[in-house]
């Protein structure tokens, strides 16, 4: 870890070339959030983080899961999938294999929790919003792009509910965005692409609100354990990244 930046302040000055993409350590890929991409859905957003493209849609259903019936509260849930050839080499189609992988289930549970953390379920009323995140092309960071884009789709769907007077107060209490960070060749960096993700020492996903709160923190050593100091730097980078993403979200729904 000798090569780790001694301070977060000058992280942006790391010489270009240390990352395969030439990005600075605290630099996001080019992010584009394109709302309304899907013709039929109540809300949708194509989230592009560099070559990672995730289509997020929101579907409003006027019913809730059985365990919520009659309680007056709503629900937000998510499903996630990858097109078989979104990846560098083809991945088997989960529908053909007859089950979703553990990774898929982990990701869709994460997306649902992240969105519920900024949703007032009582204000939503007894209805469910289903988020579908489908990866059209993958180059690292699909789950964080999915969360970031889903918030936009969710916002659209809720805007429709508001327009029709179906909700009285705004169920969306904050923006939520997510980004991955990792330790690549000993250096904490922001927004891993596939080249970095497949060769890093640790990777982490942070789900943070525009208001400054932590919703989810997941950090994993890929090989050796990592230090607390390195972890602190990952968190600092993530904050910088999600602040930028939250601004893009605001612009997208503005």
Binding residues: 103, 141-143
Q: Which stretch binds a copy of itself (CB under 8 A): 7-15, 77-85, 141-149, 164-172?
A: 77-85
- Per CB under 8 A, contacts with a copy of itself among 114-143 are 117-118, 130, 132, 134, 136-137, 139
Determine which residue in the list 215, 237, 252, 253 makes contact with a copy of itself, applying CB under 8 A: 215
From residue 203, alpha-carbon distances to 14, 183, 213, 237 in Å are 20, 6, 20, 12
Q: Spell 55-94 as b/e; 16+ CB within 10 A means b.
A: bbbbbbeeebeeeeeeeeebbbbbbbbbbeebeeeebeee
Q: To the nearest whole angstrom, how small is the minimum distance from the Cβ of residue 45 to a copy of itself?
A: 12
DSSP 227-245: -HHHHHHHHHHHHHHHHHH
Place of tokens 């009285």: 168
> Which CB, 90 or 185, lies closer to a copy of itself?
90
Per CB under 8 A, the segment of 12-20, 24-32, 65-73, 207-215 that binds a copy of itself is: 207-215
Measure the CA dihedral 31/34/38/41, to 10°: 100
Smallest distance from the beta carbon of 69 to a copy of itself, in angstroms?
A: 17
Number of residues that bind a copy of itself (CB under 8 A): 67
Q: Are 110 and 143 in contact (CB under 8 A)?
A: yes
Give 49-70 as a DSSP string.
ETTEEEEEEEEEES---GGGTT
CB of 63 to a copy of itself, least distance (A): 12
Strands (E), 125-199: 128-137, 176-184, 187-190
* Nearest residue (CB) to a copy of itself, 14 versus 50: 50
Q: How far is the CB of 111 from a copy of itself (least distance, A)?
A: 12
Least distance in angstroms from the C-beta of 214 to a copy of itself: 5
Question: With CB under 8 A as the contact rule, which of the stretches 160-168, 185-193, 222-230, 246-254 interacts with a copy of itself?
Answer: 222-230
Q: State the residue for tokens 């180059």.
A: 139
Residues near a copy of itself, by CB under 8 A: 38-41, 44, 51, 55, 57, 59, 61, 79, 81, 83-90, 93-96, 98-106, 108-109, 113, 117-118, 130, 132, 134, 136-137, 139, 174, 204, 208-209, 211-221, 223-228, 231, 235
């Amino acid at each position: 870890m000798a090569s780790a930046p001694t301070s977060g302040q000058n992280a942006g000055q790391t010489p270009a070339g240390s990352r395969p993409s030439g990005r600075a350590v605290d630099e996001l890929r080019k992010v584009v959030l394109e709302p309304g991409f899907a013709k039929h859905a109540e809300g949708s957003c194509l989230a592009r983080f560099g070559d990672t493209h995730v289509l997020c849609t929101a579907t409003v259903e006027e019913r809730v899961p059985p365990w919520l019936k009659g309680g007056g509260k709503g629900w937000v849930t998510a499903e996630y999938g990858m097109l078989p050839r979104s990846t560098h080499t083809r991945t088997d189609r989960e529908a053909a294999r007859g089950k979703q992988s553990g990774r898929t289930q982990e990701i869709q549970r994460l997306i649902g929790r992240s969105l519920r953390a900024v949703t007032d379920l009582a204000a939503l009323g007894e209805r469910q919003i289903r988020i579908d995140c489908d990866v059209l092309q993958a180059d690292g960071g699909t789950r964080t792009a999915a969360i970031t884009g889903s918030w936009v789709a969710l916002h659209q769907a809720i805007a429709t509910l508001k327009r029709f007077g179906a909700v009285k107060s705004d169920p969306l209490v904050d923006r939520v965005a997510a980004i991955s960070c990792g330790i690549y060749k000993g250096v904490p960096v922001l927004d891993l692409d596939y080249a970095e993700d497949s060769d890093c020492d640790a990777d982490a996903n942070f789900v943070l609100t525009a208001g400054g709160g932590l919703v989810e923190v997941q950090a994993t050593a890929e090989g050796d354990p990592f230090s607390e100091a390195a972890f602190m730097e990952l968190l600092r980078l993530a904050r910088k990244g999600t602040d930028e993403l939250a601004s893009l979200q605001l612009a997208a729904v503005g």
